[in-house]
Amino acid sequence: MPKILESATFTLGNGKPVKIPIGQFINNEFVDSVSGKRMDVYNPATGKVIGQVSEADAADVDLAVKAARAAYEKDNRSWGFMQHGRRGALLNKLADLIEANQEELAAIEATDTGKLYKDAYSKDFAGVIATLRYYAGWADKITGKTYNVIPGIHAYSKYEPIGVCGQIIPWNFPAAMFSWKIGPALATGNTIVIKSAETTPLSALKMCEYIKEAGFPPGTVNLITGLGYTAGQAIADHMDVDKVAFTGSGPVGRKIMETAAKTNLKRVTLELGGKSPNIIFDDAKSAKDAAEWAFFGIQMNMGQVCTAGSRILVQEGIADEFTKEFVKLMESVKLGDPFDDSSTHGPLNSSVHFDRVQGWVETGRKEGADTPVCGKDMRKELGGGYFITPTVFTNVKKDSQILSNEVFGPVVSIQTFKTEAEAIAEANRTTYGLASAVFSSNNERLLRMNEAIRAGTVWNNVYNFAHFGVPFGGYKQSGIGRENADAALFNYLETKSVVANMGYVRSPYASL
């Protein structure tokens, strides 16, 4: 095992120093990578390096997988065979420790991602704590069924953990996705090798301190910090990883599926991108109410959300009034320091992503769309951080690239429609199917639209309201499987059928 690394001091965006582990978390120790390489960690609000963490490669992934396998199969007291209620108790203990350190963790998350501190505290980490407690409650409630369908035969099913699970999380909600992944996997008895996104490793590293403090057995959770094409690929390649869960881009999701097929046919769940329609009918509660929800739908986390309502479809009778209200809200955005309570919009997560979003804005303009609000590069004005003002496109051509590609930033298109049928056709005219919304006061219309839209989530008169107690995932190229609620548990379980002769069913060859 490589040498143990001491924690390093990082100065957060609020000026406070905090000790954060910088090593790979393997077998309940923070250790150096085999290569000894380091990755820079940036503060997106300043564009400056605030420290370094260890950079993993395939050799480190192999060590983590070995630790996870040993923790799963060591003996009848290992994680995979532990009394289920004990798993729940440890998840609750972890939630307690995170809650006790919520302010510091939220400050780490805001510094590392660029999201507003108030959101990191009241939304992200409040959700982390609740998610872990939710799955703690499930740990001892996973039961099988009996099947009395054959005379003389007692048949039943039981659920068993899959084994060693590789998990790869994104940079937009690193803490939330950490809890969404480990919660159901641990509750069902699996052990984990989880990789943080290369640009946002800090909150996961800090939470691993609390995993150790809570008393999880060594090797139960192992965290890898490294690049996607090396460490992430090594998880997908590994022949002793039984399942991979990935949240991120479509191209990477395809690569993981391909790798799983070429290696040991490991189980795969994918939560990928979206190009979600937000449909506003004339009979919505009001243009102002719909505009406020649509604003939240695209501005949440600076548009860096897979469910972002980036395609607004508004019925002609309300289109002018809605657009006026919506543009006013987009123009009111206050970019600034994520720790300033008056800020309503932080920076984008990285320089690479900033350039990508700016590129899509330029593409939309070149394609001839109107821009009542157009993204402005605010890096110089705001001290070098990756700040960009929002963009609104109108009069967008139907073959426009910005209508079919996920921008993943504060960029939205407004289209108009006449009839319900036209709205359905346009809403479904996408390769994605993650989320959608319908605003209407007509309940019959809402029911029809809920049936017609091909998406994993359809919000009614609300937007971006994801909850750990409600299944989440996509149709079409938005992914495979579901996160959250009891649906996520079955991502991490194998079903075993037991068929027992009660003593009087004779073999077909008994008389021979």
Q: What is the per-residue pLDDT across 303-317, written as a single tens digit (0 to 9) for each?
A: 999 999 999 999 999
Give all domains of the chain, ordered by start, each with its CATH number.
8-272+474-496 (3.40.605.10), 277-460 (3.40.309.10)
Q: Which residues are catalytic?
A: 271
State residue 352's pLDDT score.
97
What is the per-residue pLDDT across 438-456, written as a single tens digit (0 to 9) for each? Answer: 999 999 999 999 999 999 9
pLDDT at 217 > cutoff 60? yes
What percentage of the chain has pLDDT greater than the value 70?
99
Distance of CA 264 to the CA centre of its chain: 25
| Alpha-carbon span 228 to 352, nearest angstrom | 15
Distance of CA 251 to the CA centre of its chain: 16
Question: 220 vs 5, 183, 236, 264, CA distance in Å?
Answer: 20, 12, 19, 22
State residue 240's pLDDT score.
98
131 pLDDT band, cuts 50/70/90, is very high
Asked if residue 187 lies in contact with residue 216, where contact means CB atoms within 8 angstroms, the answer is no
State residue 178's pLDDT score.
98
What is the per-residue pLDDT across 80-93, written as a single tens digit (0 to 9) for each? Answer: 888 899 999 999 99
Task: Write down the number of H helices and E strands in the chain.
Answer: 15, 22
141 pLDDT band, cuts 50/70/90, is very high
State residue 505's pLDDT score.
80
What is the per-residue pLDDT across 344-365, written as a single tens digit (0 to 9) for each? Answer: 999 999 999 999 999 999 999 9
Closest alpha carbon to 412 in 222, 511, 500, 280: 280
Asked if residue 50 lies in contact with residue 11, where contact means CB atoms within 8 angstroms, the answer is yes
What percentage of the chain has pLDDT greater than the value 90?
94
